[in-house]
Amino acid sequence: MEVLSFLASGVLTALEPINLGLILIGVTVGLFIGAMPGLGSVNGVAILLPITFLVPPASAIIFLAAIYYGAMYGGAISSVTLGIPGASTAVATTFDGRPLALQGRASLALVTAALASFVGGTVATVFFSLFAPLLATVALNFGPPEIFALMLLAFATFVGLGGDDIPKTIFSICFGLVLATVGFDTISGEPRLVLFDIQGFLRGIGFIVLAIGVYGIGEMLWTIEQTRGEITTTNPKMTVKGLASDAKEAVRRGWKGTWIGSLLGFFVGVLPAAGATPGSLMSYGVAKMVSKTPEEYGHGSPDGVAAPEAANNSASTGSMLPMLTLGIPGSPTTAILLGGMVIWGLTPGPRLFIDESEFVWGLIGSFYISNLAAVLINLAFIPLFVWMLRMPFTILAPLIFVLSIVGGFAASRSMHDLWLIVIFGLGAFFMRKFDYPLAPAVLAIVLGPIAEPTLRQSLLLSSGDPAIFFTRPIAGPITVIAIILILLPAIKLLRRKGRVATS
Amino acid sequence: MKLSKRLFLGLAVGSTLATLPMSALAQDWEPTRPVDFTIMAGSGGGADQIARFVQSVVEANDMTNRPLIPTNRGGGSGAEALLHLKDARDPDHTLMVTLNSFYTTPIRQEGLGVDVEQFTPITMMGVDPFVLWVHKDSGITTFEQYIETVREMNGEYVMGGTGSGQEDSIVIAYMSGAYDLDIKYIPYDGGGAVAKDLAGQQIMATVNNPAEAKGFYEAGDFVPLLAFSDERMDAYPDVPTLKEKGHDFSYYNQRAIVGAPGMSDQAAAYYRDLFGKVYEGDDWQTYLVSESLSPLPMDEAETRAYWATQVENHRKLLSEID
Amino acid sequence: MRQGEISLAGILALFSLYLMWKSTELPIGYIRGQGPGGGFWPFWLSVGMLLSCLAIAWNWWRGKSPAALSDEPLMDAFGWRTVLFVGGGVVGFVAMISIVSMYGAVALFLIYYLRFLGRHSWLLTLAIAVVLPVALFFFFEGAMQISMPQGLPFTQPFFDVMYDIIY
C-alpha cells in the first residue's frame, strides 16, 4: 500500500502544469525524431540535455523520458511507412508492418503499433512500480554466462525468420555475425578484421549502416525494379471512422502479440546489456510460434506488428530500471540520461529509491502520463504519415533515398559509413534478387556484439570449460531451451524425411 | 579565405610583439561554425559524461556564439577519434575530450601514425584516481587481507576491467607485479558494466574510478581497499594509498580537452579562455568534488611536458604488460 | 538467373575466404584455460559462410533452388537501365557530398531524380530541390545540432550566412 501512496504523489508530480507541458512537448518532439531513419531517442535526448539545466531535476528527467517514449513510438512509423527500421528495436516491426503498408493498410499497422506500444509501456510501468527493487536483484544475477544463454535464445527465434532456403539463411546469419566483429576486439584489446586495411573500419560496422543499406537502398532499388516504378501503395484514405474501425481491428487481431510482447519485452529489457532489440525479436518469434496462423506472419499480420512494438516499449521502460537502481545504462539513451542525473547531482544506484524517492516516483508517475500522451498524439498524427504515402512513387522514392543518406550520416558522422551504406545497398539488391533473406544478417549484427564478448568472458571465468553454460542455475535452463529450439526445425525435417522414406 | 588567414596571422604576430595579454587576444577570434567536440569513448562512460557536462554548462550560460557538438568516436579504443583529429579538415573547430587511451592507443596501434605530442593542449579539467574495490560479502576489509586471499586462491581470483591495455589493466598489472599476484582478468566493454558485475558478485574485485562505484559504495555494497592516488582521497580518508604501502606508483585517468594538431594560436587561446571559465565556474567545481576528481591545472607548456612524461611512462608500463 | 545464382555464390565464397584469411591475424584456436582467441568467432563463422556457399552451389547443381532452374535473364534491358540510373544516381549523390556539401548534393540528386527520372515539371522539381535541403539544414544544424559535411571551400560563404541566421 505504501507503493500506492508513493505512486499517487508521483502521478500528481507528473501532472503539475510545467511537467505536463514538458511531457506533451517531449513526446511530440520524440515522435518526429524517432520517425526519421537514422535518428532515434539518443539524438533527441542528447541535444535537449542542456535545456534541462533550466528546470528542476525532476522536471528535467520527466522531459527527457517523454522524448525517449515519443521516439520509441516514432520508430514504428519509419518501419511501416518507409520500410526502413529507424532503430534496431524496430527491425521486427518491418516484417509485418511493411507488407501491411504495401497492401494499403498502413493506417492499420500504425494504429496497431500505437496501441501495442501503449499497452507495452503501461504494463511495464506497472511492473516497474511494484517490483523495482526485486527486479534489480534479478538483474544482478545475470552475469556473462546468463546473458550469452539469453542471446542463444534470441538466435533460436531466428530459425523461424529465414526464407525457405536454409543455406542462404545460414549464410545471412553468419555474415551478420562476422560483420559485427569488424573493428576492435575488446577482450584482447587488438584491432580486428580491419578490412582491406582501411582505417575507417576501426570504428566497426554499425547496425544502422547495414539496416539503411539493406532497407533504405537495396529494398528500394528492388521495389523500383520489380514494379517498374509504376505502382505505389494502394491509395490509403484516412477518415475518423476509418481510424476507429482500424483500432477495433487492431485490438481484435493484435491483442495476443501485444501481451506476449509486453511481458517478454519487459523481462528482457530489465537485464542490463540485453535491451530492447532482443526483446522485440524474441517476442516476434514467440508470437509466431504460439500463433494459430503462423503462415500469416511476414505477410501483414497485425500480431506481428503488435508483438515487437509492445516489446520494445515495454523493454525501454524496463531498461530504465537497471539505470536507476544499479547505475548501469541498458542502452545508449539511458547512458545519456544517466549522465544527466549525474549533472543534476543525483547518484543512480541502490540508494536512489530511498534517498530521492520523490524524484524516482515523479519519474515513474510520468511514465504513465507520457504513455497516455504518446498514444493520443501518435494517433492524431497517423493521418499525416499515411498522407505521405499518397505521394507519387517518383517523389517518394527520391525522398527515401535522401532521408537514408542524410539519416545515415547523422547516425554515423562519417563518409566512410556512407559509402558502406551504398555498397551494402547495391549488394543487398542483388542478394535480394536471388532470395537471400537479409533480415537475419541485420539482426545478427545487433546481437553479435553482445553474444561474442559474453561467450568469451564466460569461458575466461571457467578457464575454458563450456560446462559453465549448463551448470549455473539461471544460465542452464535457458541454454537447454535455446538448444532445443534451435534443433527443433532440424528434428522436424528429419522426421518428415523419415516418413517420406518409409512411405 | 587565404587573405583573411594571412590577415589573422599578421594580427597574431603583431599582437604578440605588442605583448598583449592572452585574454585580449582571445577576443579577436571566434568560431565561425559549430565546433566539433569529439569524445574519445562511447556514450555512457566517464569521458562522455564530462563532455556532456561541459557542453551543457557552455550551452546553459550561452558562452559561445556557435554550439559545441558532442560526437562519440570511441571506435578502436579511441583510434577513431585520434585519426579524426589528426586528419581534421578544420583544426580551428575541432576539439576532443580525452582519457588515457590518448596515450595508450597510439603506442599499442603504431600503424595509426598518430603522434599525440603534436596535438594542441587546451585545458586539463581534472584527473580521475583509481581505487581497488571488493564486495562487502567477501568479508575483506583491508588490502593485506586481499593480498592473502588472492594468494590462497592460486590463480582463481577473478577481477574485471575494461580490457587489456586499458587504464585499470595497467594498474592491476602493476599491482600483480609488485605483490606477485596471479589474477584472472575478465575484460568488459565499460567501467559501468564492471561495477555491475562486482555488485552481482560475478567477479571478485575491480579497479574502478570512484564515480563508477559511488552508488554501490554509498549503499554499502562495495568496500574500497586501496587508492592509487598520490595522497589519501578526501572522499575516502581511511583508505590507504599504494604509495603508503611503499610502492612509488600512482595512476590517474586524465580528463582533458585537447585541440587538433595545427590549431591556430588564436583559436587555442579562445578555447583555453572558454574552458578556463568553465573550469573555474561553480558547476564544474561542484562536479569535481561530487565525482572525486582531483584538480590538476596546467598551462600549455606544462601540459606539453606532462604529455611527454605520460607517453614515456605508458610506453614503459605497456611494455611490462605484454 | 541460372548463371547469376552460381556467380553470386562464387563471389560470396571468395569474400568468405578473404574474411577467413583476415581473421587469422588474431589467434583462431581455443586457447587452453582461456577459451577462444580473438579470431575464433569471425574465423569459424566465415567458415560457416563458405560452407553455406558450397551448399548453395550444391543445390544449384542439383537444380533444387528456383533460381537454378530459371532460364530467364536476371533483368531485362529496362530493369538494368532502371538499376543503373537509380543506383548510379545514389552513388553520384554520395560522391558529390565531398564536393558541393551534403545539402548541395541533396538538391542536385533531387533535380536529377525528379526531373530526369520522374519527369516532373521544372516548377515542382525546383520547389522540392530548394525547400527540402533548406528544411533539412534547419532541422539538422539548427534543431538537432548535427553538422553535415560541407564540401570544398567554395561552399563556405553560404554556410557562414546560414549559421549567422540560425545561431
Task: State pLDDT tens for residues A279-328.
Answer: 888 888 888 888 888 888 888 889 999 999 999 899 888 888 878 887 77
Same domain for C88 and C42 = no
In a domain, A267, yes or no: yes
- Which H helix or E strand runs over B160? strand B157-161
Phi, psi (degrees; rounded to nearest 5) at A135: -65, -30
DSSP string, B216-239: HHHTT-EEEEEE-SSS--SS-TTS
Give the count of Cβ contacts less than 8 A between chain A and C.
172
- For residues A53, A56, A58, A63, the Cα torsion angle rounded to the nearest 10 degrees is -50
Same-domain pairing of C50 and C106: no
Are residues B24 and B123 located together in one domain of the fold?
Answer: yes
Contact (CB<8Å) C163/B66? yes
C83 and C9 inside one domain:
no
Closest-CA residue of chain B to A140: B200
The runs of H, that is alpha helices, within A413-474 are 415-433, 439-461, 468-471
| Greater model confidence, B94 or A492 | B94
Place of cell 561530487: B290
User: How far, in Å, CA of B114 to CA of B107, rounded?
Assistant: 9
Looking at residue B119, what is its pLDDT?
A: 94
The pLDDT of residue A229: 57
Residue A144, domain member (yes or no): no
Same domain? For C98 and C129 the reply is: yes
pLDDT score recorded for residue A191: 86
Do both C54 and C90 map to the same domain? Answer: no
- Measured in degrees and rounded to the nearest 5, phi and psi for residue B62 equal 55, 55
- Is residue A336 assigned to a domain? yes
Contacts of B216 (CB under 8 A, 6+ apart): A327, A349, A350, B195, B198, B199, B222
Identify all chain B residues contacting A142, using CB atoms and an 8 Å cutoff.
200
B164 touches chain A (CB under 8 A): yes
Q: What is the residue range of B115's domain? A: 20-128+254-321
Crossing angle (nearest 10°) for helices A302-326 and A276-290: 140
CATH number, domain with residue B259: 3.40.190.150
Cβ-defined contact of C159 to B33 (cutoff 8 Å): yes
Q: Say if residue C125 is in the same domain as residue C99.
A: yes
User: Is B6 an 8 Å CB contact of chain C?
Assistant: no
- Give the pLDDT of residue B303: 92
C34 and C13 in one domain?
A: yes
Assess whether B25 and B107 both reside in one domain.
yes
Nearest CA in chain B to A203: B75
Low-confidence ranges of chain A (pLDDT < 50): none
Closest residue on chain C to A39 (Cα): C144
Over residues C26-41, mean pLDDT: 84
CB-CB contact of A34 with A40 (8 Å) = yes
Name the range with the highest mean pLDDT among B59-68, C47-56, C153-162: C47-56
Q: Is residue A499 part of a domain?
A: no
Domain contains A286: yes
Cβ–Cβ pairs < 8 A, chains B and C: 22
Q: Quick check: A347 and B215 in contact, CB under 8 A?
A: yes
Distance CA(A194)–CA(A183), nearest Å, equals 6
Q: How far is C104 from chain B (nearest CA, A)?
A: 18
Q: B56 and B150 in one domain?
A: no
* pLDDT surpassing 80 at residue C68: no
What is the predicted pLDDT for the residue at B23?
44
In this structure, what are the phi and psi dihedrals at residue B258, rounded to the nearest 5 degrees?
A: -125, 160
Among B235, B252, B242, B162, residue whose Cα is nearest residue B203: B162
Closest CA to C120 of C129, B83, B149: C129
Identify the domain containing residue A74 by its residue range: 2-138+149-461
Residue from B160, B162, B171, B185 nearest B78 by CA:
B162
| Nearest Cβ partner for A338 among B44, B73, B286 | B44
CB A91, CB A277: distance < 8 Å: yes
Q: Do A189 and B59 touch (CB under 8 A)?
A: no
Q: How far apart are CA A337 and CA B46, in angstroms?
A: 13
Do B218 and A140 lie within an 8 Å CB cutoff? no
Q: Are residues B123 and B136 in the same domain?
A: no
Q: Which of C97, C145, C146, C155 to mutate to test the interface with B (most CBs of B within 10 A)?
A: C145
Q: Is residue A224 part of a domain?
A: yes
Radius of gyration from C-alpha coordinates of chain B: 21
Residue-level pLDDT at B311:
93
Is the Cα dihedral A236, A238, A239, A245 positive or negative?
positive
- pLDDT for the residue A162: 59
B223, B273: one domain: no
Produce one character per residue of C79-105: b if its CB has 16 or more CB atoms within 10 Å, e if not: beebbeebbebbeebbebbbebbbbbb
Concatenated DSSP letters of C8-35: HHHHHHHHHHHHHHHHTTS--SEETTTE
**What is the pLDDT, as a whole number, of residue A502?**
59
What region does A55 belong to: left with phi over 0, alpha with psi -120 to 50, or beta? beta
Q: How far apart are CA A323 and CA A321, in angstroms?
A: 5
- Residue C154 grid cell: 567554395
My answer on whether B120 and B259 are in the same domain is yes
The reply to whether C61 and C81 lie within a common domain is no
> What whole-number distance in Å separates Cα of residue B297 and Cα of residue B101?
20
What's the pLDDT tens digit per position in B231-265?
A: 999 889 999 999 999 999 999 999 999 999 999 99
| pLDDT classification of B152: cutoffs 50, 70, 90 | very high
> How far is residue A147's CA from residue A272's CA, in Å, rounded to a whole number?
9
DSSP state of B241: B
Tell me whether A308 touches chain B (CB under 8 Å): no
Give dist(CA A449, CA A204) in Å, integer: 10
Query: What's the structural domain count of chain A?
Result: 1
Q: Does C120 sit within 8 Å of A394, measured CB to CB?
A: yes
pLDDT for residue B153 is more than 50: yes
Over the range C20-50, which residues count as b (16 or more CB within 10 Å of their CB) and which as e? bebbebbbbeeeeebbbbbbbbbbbbbbbbb
d(CA A320, CA A272): 10
Q: Is A227 on the interface with C (CB under 8 A)?
A: no
pLDDT of residue C103: 94
Cell numbers representing residue C130 in the block? 530548394
Sign, CA torsion A442/A446/A451/A457: positive
Q: Which domain-ending residue is among C18, C43, C69?
A: C69
Domain match, B36 and B98 both: yes
| B33·C145 Cβ contact <8 A | no
End position of a domain, from candidates C69, C101, C117:
C69
d(CA A479, CA A482): 5
| C-alpha–C-alpha distance, residues A33 and A42, integer Å | 10
Q: How far away is chain A from the Cα of C150, in angstroms, using its nearest Cα?
A: 12
Whether residue C147 lies within 8 A of chain B, CB to CB, comes out as yes
CA B36 to chain CA mean position, Å? 19
Collapsing DSSP states into helix, strand and coil, what is residue B98?
Answer: strand
Identify whether residues B123 and B265 lie together within a single domain.
yes
**Domain around C104:** 77-166
Mean of pLDDT over chain B: 86
Q: Is B75 on the interface with C (CB under 8 A)?
A: no
**Position B212, amino acid:** E
User: Does B81 map to a domain?
Assistant: yes
C141 inside 8 A of chain B by CB? yes
List the single range of A342-351, B226-235, C48-57 with lowest mean pLDDT: A342-351
Same domain? For C36 and C57 the reply is yes
Q: Is residue B182 part of a domain?
A: yes
Partners of chain B (3+ Cβ pairs below 8 A): A, C
Q: What is the pLDDT of residue A238?
A: 61
| Host H or E run for residue B280 | helix B265-280
For residue A490, tell me if it sits in a domain.
no
Which among A168, A187, A394 has the least Cβ separation from residue C117?
Answer: A394
Q: How many domains does chain B have?
A: 2
Residue B27 has pLDDT above 70, yes or no: no
User: Dihedral sign, CA of B281, B282, B283, B285?
Assistant: positive
Of the given ranges (A74-83, A275-284, B31-40, C65-74), which has the lowest mean pLDDT? C65-74
Q: Residue B67 and residue C163: Cβ atoms within 8 Å?
A: no
Q: Give the pLDDT confidence score for residue A235 in this predicted structure.
A: 53
φ, ψ of residue B158 to 5 degrees: the values are -105, 125
Quote the number of domains for chain C. 2
| C99 and C28 share one domain | no
Q: In a mutagenesis test of the C interface, which of B2, B33, B77 is the best target, namely the one with the most C β-carbons within 10 Å?
A: B33
pLDDT digits (tens, 9 = 90+) for A207-231: 889 988 998 899 889 888 887 656 5
Cβ-defined contact of C147 to B69 (cutoff 8 Å): yes
Within-domain flag for B233: no
C65 and C87, same domain (yes or no): no
Sign of CA dihedral A169, A151, A118, A90: negative
> pTM for the complete prediction?
0.86
Give the contacts of B238 (CB within 8 A, at least 6 positions apart): none
Tell me how close the Cα of B68 comes to any Cα of chain C, in angstroms.
9
